[in-house]
Amino acid sequence: MHVFEVLADPVRRRILELIGQGEMASGEVVEAIGAEFGITQAAVSQHLKVLRESGFARVEAQAQRRLYSVDAAGLQTVDAWIGQFRSFWEPKLDALATEIARGKRQRRRAPLGRRTGKRA
């Protein structure tokens, strides 16, 4: 399955958001996702399996618990694909940063009365 097919599903994206906040037991994921999307434990488990197999999530067994966390490998694949388009927006963001810095310098140099909008 292509990485964007994995991320196209809102349930899988939400699971990633949850485990991105910190490691979660599978039962916690099932409870949160089940309540939010109204799906069964089996359906959540299937989504977790897809995330694992596609490199977006990792699981660690601790006794009877399964702890899920984000695996950076899947996200790196997405980043690499998006990277080929960075040249479209990075110059614009650099120009914006320059304009913001210029505006800050001008405000610092302005007389006190001009900063507040009052006459000096």
- Round the average pLDDT of the chain to a whole number and report it: 91
Can you give the CATH number for the domain in which 53 is found? 1.10.10.10
Distances (CA, A) of 8 to 47, 68, 74, 111: 12, 20, 14, 53
Q: Is 32 inside any structural domain?
A: yes
Q: Is 83 inside any structural domain?
A: no
Domain that holds residue 46: 3-74
Q: Is 52 inside any structural domain?
A: yes
Q: How many domains does the chain have?
A: 1
Q: Render pLDDT for 6-40 as a digit per residue (tens, 0 to 9).
A: 999 999 999 999 999 999 999 999 999 999 999 99
Q: Is 115 inside any structural domain?
A: no
Sorting pLDDT into bands at 50, 70 and 90, what band is 114? Answer: low
In terms of residues, how long is the chain?
120
In this prediction the pTM is 0.73
Dihedral class, residue 9 (left if φ above 0, else alpha if ψ from -120 to 50, else beta):
beta
CB of 67 closer than 8 Å to CB of 28? no
